[in-house]
C-alpha cells in the first residue's frame, strides 16, 4: 500500500519581479513562513524536511538562451504521507505567488489522483443506479419506446454518434441511456417533458386556448417537467437537482484531472451517499406511480410521432381520408386533423411533417377542406379535415 505521495509544481519568473534568484534563496523564503511547517529542518541546500515530509527545490534552466520571456524557474517537489502532502499543497502555492512567481504550473499531483480514484467508483455507481432506475421506470410506464419519447434531439444525437463508435456489447443491447452524458441523465429527471408537447405544440395551444383559469391550468399540467409530473415526491422535494449538479461538477474535475482537496473529497462522498439514498428509495416505490389517461394518450401519440418515417403519397392520403370521413360521417362525427395525421396515418407508419405538408398542398388544390369544429372534450376549437370532390367529378347539376 502506498504510504508516500508526491506533489510537484513549477514556479516561473516571467516578469522578473521576484527577488528569488537561487535555490537557497527559495528555500530560506519558504522556511521564513512558519505557517507552512510543524518543525522544519534544513537537510541540504535544496531540501527542507518537516517530520515525515520532504520538500526539494531545483532550478530549471531554459535550453533556449535567447528566450527573454523566461527569467528563471524552480521545480518544487513535495513528498510525504497523504495528509501532510495534501495540507501543504495549496498554502505553498499561494505563498509562491506572493513571492511574485507567475505563472505557476502543477506538473505532478498524486494526492488529487488518489482522491479522484476514491470518488470515481461512487460516482460511477450513482450514475448507473439512476440509469437503471429510469430504464425500469419508463419501461413500466411508457413501454419499450420510452427513449424515443423521453430523450431530446441532443441526447439522441449523442447516443447515435457514440453507438457507432462503441464496440462492446452494443450490437445486442439497447445502450442509448448509457451513451449520454452525466448531466443529460440528470436532466431526464428534472427538465425533460417526455416528448408530450413540442415547442410548436405549446405555441399552437397558447394561440388557440381561451384565457379562462381552467384552460391555463390544463396547459400548465400538460407542459410540466418530469421533475414535477412524475418525480416530485421521490426527487424534487429532496433537492435532487442541486445535489446532482454539484456532483456533476466534481465528476468533471475527476474526468479532467483537476486538483482536489480533502474537503472536496468529503463533499463528493456525502453527495454520493445522499444521491444513492434518494435513488434507492425511489426505486422501492416505482410501482406506486400512476399515469393519467391524458398522459397515456400523449405518450401514445409521442411514440407514434417519433417512430413514423415513411412518406405518404397523394393518392394514399386521399384514400385514407375518404375512408375515415365516411366512417365518422355515419355517426355524425368529424375527422380531427391532428387525430387523422397522428393516430391514423401515424399508426400506419407515415411521417407527421410530410403528411401535414401534403395536406396543405391538397387544400390549395381544392381537394380537401380544413375547418374548425367545437371540441367535445376541451375548451377550444379543433381543426377538422374532409375530402372535397374534384370539379371533374361533379355533375353540371351539382
Same-domain status, 126 and 230: yes
Q: What is the pLDDT of residue 395?
A: 43
- Asked if the structure places residue 110 within a domain, the reply is no
> How many domains does one find in the chain?
3
Q: What is the pLDDT of residue 24?
A: 94
- pLDDT confidence of 61, banded at 50, 70, 90? confident
CA distance 23 to 272: 44
Helix extents (H) in 143-181 = 146-150, 153-165
Q: Is the Cα torsion angle 242, 246, 252, 255 positive or negative in sign?
A: negative
Q: Where is pLDDT greater, at 365 or 354?
A: 365
Q: What is the pLDDT of residue 42?
A: 83
Place of cell 432506475: 133
Q: Where is pLDDT greater, at 93 or 375?
A: 93
| pLDDT tens, position by position, 232-248 | 778 888 889 999 999 99
Contact between 176 and 147 (Cβ < 8 Å):
yes
Same-domain status, 137 and 181: yes
- pLDDT confidence of 391, banded at 50, 70, 90? very low
Same-domain status, 220 and 279: yes
As given in the structure block, the three cell numbers for residue 274 are 445522499
Same-domain status, 285 and 319: no
- Report DSSP letters for 61-117, one per residue: --S-TT-SS-SEEEEEEEEE-HHHHHHHHHHHHHHHHHTT-BSEEEEEEHHHHHHHH
Cα 125–Cα 131–Cα 134 angle in degrees, nearest 5: 140
* Reported pTM: 0.61
pLDDT at 394 over 50: no
CA distance 124 to 103: 35
- Asked if the structure places residue 174 within a domain, the reply is yes
- Report DSSP letters for 33-73, one per residue: -GGG-SSEEEEETTEEEETTEEEEEEEE--S-TT-SS-SEE
- CATH code, domain carrying 375: 1.10.10
pLDDT mean over 324-351: 83
Q: What is the pLDDT of residue 233?
A: 77
Instruction: Classify residue 261 by its DSSP letter.
Output: -
Q: What is the pLDDT of residue 219?
A: 67
- pLDDT confidence of 255, banded at 50, 70, 90? confident
- Asked if the structure places residue 301 within a domain, the reply is no
pLDDT at 308 over 80: no
Whether the upstream peptide bond of residue 103 has omega within 30° of 0, thus cis, is: yes
pLDDT at 72 over 60: yes
Same-domain status, 126 and 250: yes
The residues, ordered by sequence, that sit 6+ positions from 334 with a Cβ below 8 Å of its Cβ are 328, 373, 384, 386
Same-domain status, 81 and 30: yes
Same-domain status, 188 and 127: yes
The residues, ordered by sequence, that sit 6+ positions from 391 with a Cβ below 8 Å of its Cβ are 366
Comparing 24-33, 105-114, 134-143, the range with the smallest average pLDDT is 134-143
Nearest alpha-carbon partner for 98 in 23, 35, 18:
18
Residue 201, φ and ψ in degrees, nearest 5: -60, -45
Same-domain status, 127 and 158: yes
- Asked if the structure places residue 221 within a domain, the reply is yes
Secondary structure in 3-state letters for 316-355: HHHHHHHHHHHHHHCCCCCCEHHHHHHHHHCCCCECHHHH
pLDDT at 171 over 80: no
pLDDT at 282 over 60: yes
Mean pLDDT of the chain: 80
Range of the domain at 262: 115-290
Q: What is the pLDDT of residue 298?
A: 58
Nearest alpha-carbon partner for 89 in 199, 191, 176, 6:
6
pLDDT mean over 102-123: 94
pLDDT mean over 355-370: 91
- pLDDT confidence of 202, banded at 50, 70, 90? low
- Asked if the structure places residue 302 within a domain, the reply is no
- Asked if the structure places residue 280 within a domain, the reply is yes
- CATH code, domain carrying 59: 3.30.1370.80
pLDDT at 90 over 90: yes
Half-sphere exposure at residue 217, Cβ-oriented, CA atoms within 13 angstroms: 5
CA distance 342 to 382: 14
Same-domain status, 13 and 126: no
The residues, ordered by sequence, that sit 6+ positions from 357 with a Cβ below 8 Å of its Cβ are none
Nearest alpha-carbon partner for 268 in 81, 114, 108:
114
- pLDDT confidence of 144, banded at 50, 70, 90? low
Same-domain status, 363 and 325: yes
Distances (CA, A) of 285 to 136, 279, 291, 313, 398: 12, 10, 14, 48, 65
pLDDT at 368 over 70: yes
- Asked if the structure places residue 297 within a domain, the reply is no
Contact between 38 and 50 (Cβ < 8 Å):
yes
Q: What is the pLDDT of residue 70?
A: 63
pLDDT mean over 131-143: 78
pLDDT at 182 over 50: yes
CA distance 26 to 231: 58
Q: What is the pLDDT of residue 78?
A: 97
Same-domain status, 64 and 30: yes
pLDDT at 57 over 70: yes
- Asked if the structure places residue 188 within a domain, the reply is yes
Q: Find the Cα–Cα–Cα–Cα dihedral 301, 306, 311, 312, rounded to 10°.
A: -10
- pLDDT confidence of 155, banded at 50, 70, 90? low
Helix (H) or strand (E) holding 231: none
Same-domain status, 135 and 24: no
Amino acid at each position: 500500500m502506498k504510504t508516500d505521495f508526491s506533489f510537484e509544481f513549477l514556479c516561473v519568473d516571467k516578469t522578473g519581479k521576484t527577488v528569488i534568484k537561487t535555490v537557497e534563496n527559495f528555500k530560506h523564503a519558504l522556511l521564513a513562513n512558519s505557517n507552512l511547517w510543524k518543525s522544519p529542518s534544513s537537510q541540504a541546500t535544496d531540501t527542507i524536511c518537516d517530520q515525515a515530509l520532504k520538500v526539494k527545490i531545483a532550478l530549471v534552466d531554459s535550453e533556449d538562451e535567447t528566450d527573454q520571456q523566461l527569467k528563471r524557474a524552480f521545480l518544487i517537489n513535495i513528498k510525504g504521507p497523504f495528509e501532510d502532502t495534501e495540507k501543504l499543497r495549496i498554502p505553498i502555492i499561494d505563498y509562491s505567488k506572493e513571492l511574485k512567481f507567475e505563472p505557476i504550473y502543477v506538473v505532478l499531483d498524486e494526492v488529487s489522483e488518489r482522491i479522484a480514484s476514491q470518488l470515481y467508483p461512487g460516482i460511477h455507481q450513482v450514475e448507473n443506479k439512476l440509469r437503471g432506475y429510469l430504464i425500469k421506470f419508463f419501461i413500466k410506464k411508457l413501454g419499450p419506446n420510452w427513449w424515443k419519447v423521453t430523450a431530446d434531439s441532443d441526447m439522441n444525437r449523442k447516443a447515435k454518434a457514440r453507438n457507432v463508435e462503441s464496440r462492446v456489447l452494443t450490437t445486442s443491447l439497447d445502450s442509448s441511456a448509457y451513451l449520454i452524458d452525466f448531466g443529460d441523465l440528470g436532466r431526464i429527471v428534472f427538465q425533460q417533458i417526455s416528448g408530450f408537447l413540442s415547442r410548436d405544440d405549446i405555441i399552437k395551444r397558447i394561440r388557440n386556448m381561451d384565457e379562462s383559469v381552467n384552460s391555463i391550468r390544463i396547459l400548465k399540467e400538460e407542459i410540466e417537467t418530469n421533475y414535477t409530473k412524475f418525480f416530485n415526491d421521490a426527487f424534487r422535494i429532496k433537492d435532487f437537482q442541486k445535489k446532482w449538479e454539484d456532483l456533476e461538477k466534481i465528476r468533471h474535475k475527476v474526468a479532467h484531472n483537476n486538483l482536489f482537496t480533502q474537503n472536496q473529497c468529503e463533499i463528493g462522498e456525502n453527495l454520493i451517499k445522499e444521491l444513492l439514498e434518494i435513488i434507492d428509495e425511489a426505486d422501492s416505490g416505482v410501482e406506486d406511480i400512476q399515469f393519467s389517461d391524458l398522459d397515456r394518450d400523449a405518450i401514445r401519440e409521442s411514440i407514434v410521432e417519433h417512430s413514423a418515417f415513411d412518406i405518404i403519397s397523394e393518392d394514399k392520403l386521399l384514400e385514407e381520408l375518404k375512408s375515415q370521413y365516411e366512417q365518422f360521417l355515419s355517426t355524425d362525427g368529424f375527422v380531427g386533423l391532428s387525430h387523422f395525421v397522428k393516430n391514423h396515418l401515424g399508426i400506419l407508419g407515415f411521417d407527421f411533417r410530410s403528411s401535414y405538408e401534403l395536406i396543405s398542398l391538397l387544400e390549395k388544390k381544392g381537394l380537401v377542406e380544413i375547418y374548425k369544429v367545437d371540441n367535445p372534450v376541451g375548451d377550444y376549437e379543433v381543426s377538422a379535415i374532409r375530402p372535397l370532390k374534384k370539379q371533374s367529378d361533379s355533375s353540371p347539376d351539382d
